Structure 1
Amino acid sequence: MNNKVVFHGKGGEFFGIWIVNILLSIVTLGIYSAWAKVRTKKYFHGNLELDGDRFDYHATPKQILIGRLIASVCVLVWAVASNFMPVIASLLMLVFVGFSPLLARNNARFDARMTSYRNVRFNFNGSLKGAYWAMLGCGLFSSIPLVILLIAAGAVRDTSIVASVLFIILSFAAYIFIFANVTASITRYFANGYQYGDRQFSAEISTGFFVKTVLFAALLGIGIFIAVFGVIAIVAGMGAMVSVSSGQMDSGFGQILGAVGGMGGMACMVLLMVLVSAFIQVRARNYTFAQMKVEGEPEYGFSSTLTTGGFLSLTVTNFLAQVFSLGLARPWVMVRTSHYFADHTLVIGDLSQLKAKGELTDDGAAIADEVAAAFDIELGLG
């Protein structure tokens, strides 16, 4: 039995909440932003429905405010240090990197514990050791082949064409392996860390799937890059020939043609990066959800049906809407994004038979949640 997730939010309705949140945050010099975050979270959780029941969000503004104040102090200290004491700023950044797995783990745990469905709260019980391995240790370990390759290349110093091509191919393979292995490790950590009441989430995540996905995305990007810039080069060449034959090169036509070609090339590069990123995100989400289970009797599964074209269209139109509206389209962007993800998410199983005991958990503080948000390291399953 497939149960579709439904989102009932409306852009116009949320726009009113959003604009009031901004105005009150400005008037109160940012203090109301904690209440604004809780109102926003409650709106989006409260409009998310599964099998006739809606989710809820339980964090209090006081929790968010304390965490936000501490996060603001951290950001301020780092900003001042980066302008006046660059060495201290570099050391602080290293300290922050060292604490980032802790912050990401605590951020996931706080958000999960503040979320409930049918009066039963979620939880995240991923270990701190697992967080450090997934986010730092795995990357360092995966980089060993690349380090060995660089040392070997420096020792041999063979500048022949064959050696150079071989070095490029091996470096490309090493970077693919590093990115795929780290992505798989982080996905595995979060997919196996969530809990609904006393029922554990689990998933068998294959590193091989991510290697194939990232490799295919890289080859796809390279192929499109060559094709697009081949067309641009041909058009630019034809334009230059026309301008020379007509005697317009001296009048600035050549410079204009070059500028247009340059801007077109940059736009294609940006779009290409967005396309490759969308391809990886869509495949990763669909695969991860297909692997995830909620243990217990009966067992439940998940399904994600995102498409690269649909997600790419959503990303591009959201960006353009915010640019041309000078940010005023932000509420509609948030709502339509929630609609898109909800429409492509299914829970497999008879939810009328769902039983779970609520576990007693310490709500904790939102400090790590706010610091993680301030430095943009919020991780989890989308």
Structure 2
Amino acid sequence: MSNEKYDVLLEGVAEGRDAVQVKSAFAQLFKLDVDKVERIFQAKQVVLKAGVDLDTAVKYIARLASIGVIVSKREAKAASTIPVATQPPAMIFTSAGRKNEGVHRTPFKFTGKGFEYFKIWIVNILLNIVTLGIYSAWAKVRNKQYFYGNTLLDGVSFEYTASPLKILKGRIIAVVFYIAYSVAVKLSPVVAAIMGLSLFLLIPWVVVNSLRFNARHSSYRNINFRFAGSIGGAVKAFIGWPLLGLLSLGLLLPFSWKKQTSYITSNHLYGGSPFTFDVSVKAYYKLLLILIGGVLLFGGTVVIYFKMASGLIIGKPSPTIMIPAAIAYVAFYLSVGAYYMVSKTNIHYNNTQLAPHRFESNWKTGSYAMLLLTNTLGILLTLGLFIPFAKVRTAAYKAAHTTLVVTGDLAGFVAVEQEMSGSLGEGVHDIFDIDIGL
């Protein structure tokens, strides 16, 4: 283990955060009065903690970032330059489990079985039919609990703790709104247009509350995830940037992809530690250019094929000339669809970090396309009965190709979050529960 020591430096308030709220949280965290906090933030080169090891310095940075304070580290100097009168009390970090072991890979693992989940799935469908859809809220919870409970990291599974009644309440309100909109379409186009516009404007609110609801009811080692995104941020990510992408004829679409991924990821926290996402938009432009190239190549090939086929056929064209074109379309759909999903996933996870730990994703277009092909054939040949098996196979693939690259001690990191999580409670006032993909 390295003997290098570091000073933890206060840089200021993070961009976009309310300075008053950040300073208030800082004061509560360090148990300081307002005047002293103001002096600390106005001073230059404030050392919050001197001579700590790398693991402790990283924990300071992650913890303070969660309340909106920018903190950096530097190699420790012989003596701290911070005046004793303004130096805040030490934050206590404890460690549990094994000692810092440097950087090591901790892969995800999915242990679910197809037939095991099939029994849950078929019961859910039957009960939904019998209860006219009322059981759908309980079905959703059972499905999520199965997949969370069978997804393991470092030998420990995730948990989903949402109440079906809260989900049911949201769905009832959604159904009532849908019925009202359907009636309005027939009675008054003006009212229908107003309701449609209202629904469009509510999208950011729905997104934020959905992400907040699902994060709050997802946990790992008894520590809940959190979502701290604002409705204003959702408006920019899910309305503003997509509109710009549309108005620019797709030229700004990569910025839309990046902004949406960044908004969702960077506003999630595990306990008090925020996830971060940082990548150049060039990665998304590369994805877009390859997709465009694939579409042009496929379209050109089909045009050339039909011209050649029509020139060779004398008399009435044969339907058999459509068979190669249909096969080519399926191959194109699978390859381009797989490439899109694989590329976006790899960009996302390979540029996501949680405090000192980072994620690593190695999805492959070929293997994922084969997964899509076999799942699709299985569902078609069994008239849908293969759906639960397809979901299990997909979950297993995702877990097998995703890894958490741990820096230091994962058990110690979790222990710190457990100590801090007691002061991070948030109110529960959700109405809608609508799945938004992460």
- TM-score relative to the length of structure 1: 0.79
Aligned counterpart for 1:280 among listed residues 340, 345, 358: 340
Aligned equivalent of 1:368: 432
Please report how far the alpha carbon of residue 273 of structure 1 lies from its aligned counterpart in structure 2 after TM superposition.
4.1
1:319 equivalent among 348, 354, 376? 376
8 Å contact from structure 1 (residues 46, 56) kept in 2: yes
Aligned to 1:60: 163
Judging by fraction of residues, say which structure has more strand: 2
1:125–1:194 Cα contact (<8 Å) kept: yes
User: What is the alpha-carbon distance in structure 2 between the residues aligned to residue 340 and residue 316 of structure 1?
Assistant: 14
Are the equivalent residues in 2 in contact too, given 1:109–1:123 (CA < 8 A)? yes
Q: Deviations over 1:167-225 (max 9, x none)?
A: xxxxxxx42x2321211111111121110000100111322221121012211221233
Q: CA deviation at 1:294?
A: 0.8
Q: For residues 404 and 131 of structure 2, what CA distance do their matches in structure 1 show?
A: 42
Structure 1 SS opposite 2:177? helix
Determine the structure 1 residue equivalent to 2:97.
none
The one-character-per-residue Cα deviations of 1:14-46 (angstroms, maximum 9, x if unpaired) are: 111111111122222222221111111111111
Q: How far apart are the structure 2 equivalents of 1:19 and 1:69?
A: 23
Q: Choose the corresponding residue for 2:278, options 189, 204, 218.
A: 204
Which of 279, 289, 310 is equivalent to 1:215? Answer: 289
Q: Alpha-carbon deviations, 1:119-153, whole Å to 9, x = none?
A: 00001111211111111112334555x4xxxxxxx
Paired residues for 1:132-281 under 5 Å: 132-142=235-245, 146=248, 174-175=249-250, 177-238=251-312, 240=313, 244=314, 249=315, 254-255=316-317, 257=318, 259-262=319-322, 264-265=324-325, 268-269=328-329, 271-281=331-341
Alignment partner for residue 353 of structure 1, among 382, 397, 412?
Answer: 412
TM-aligned CA deviation for residue 333 of structure 1: 1.2
Q: Is the 8 Å Cα contact of residues 114 and 363 (structure 1) preserved in structure 2?
A: no
Secondary structure at the aligned position of 1:4 is classed as: strand
* SS of the residue 1:340 aligns to: helix
Flag structure 2 segments of 5+ consecutive residues without an equivalent: 1-103
After TM superposition, give the deviation of residue 270 of structure 1 in Å. Answer: 5.5
One-letter amino acid of the structure 2 residue matched with residue 188 of structure 1: S
CA contact (8 A) 2:159 2:218 kept: yes
TM-aligned CA deviation for residue 324 of structure 1: 2.1
**Distance change >3 Å, CA 221–CA 300, structure 1 → 2:** same
- Give the TM-score normalised by structure 2: 0.70
Is the CA contact 2:237–2:256 (under 8 Å) kept in the aligned structure 1?
A: yes
Structure 1 distance, partners of 2:187, 2:367, is 46
Q: 1:343 to 1:79 in 2, by over 3 A?
A: farther
- Is structure 2 residue 194 aligned with structure 1 residue 91? yes
Q: Which has the higher contact order (CA 8 A, sep 6+)?
A: 1
**Residue correspondences, number:** 327
Counterparts of 2:198 and 2:326 in 1: how far apart (Å)?
Answer: 36
SS of the residue 2:432 aligns to: helix
Alpha-carbon distance in structure 2 between the residues aligned to 1:136 and 1:263: 41
Q: Does 2:70 match 1:13?
A: no
Aligned-partner Cα distance in 1 for 2:219–2:428: 12
Any idea what SS the aligned residue of 1:319 has? helix
The answer to whether the 8 Å contact 2:246/2:253 transfers is no
Matched-pair contact (CA < 8 Å) for 2:171–2:432: no
d(CA) in 2 for partners of 1:16 and 1:360? 36
Quote how far apart the aligned CAs of 1:267 are.
5.6
Quickly say closer, same or farther: Cα 1:87–1:261, change in 2 above 3 A.
farther
Establish whether residue 42 from structure 1 lines up as the match of residue 150 from structure 2: no
Amino acid at match of 1:180: P
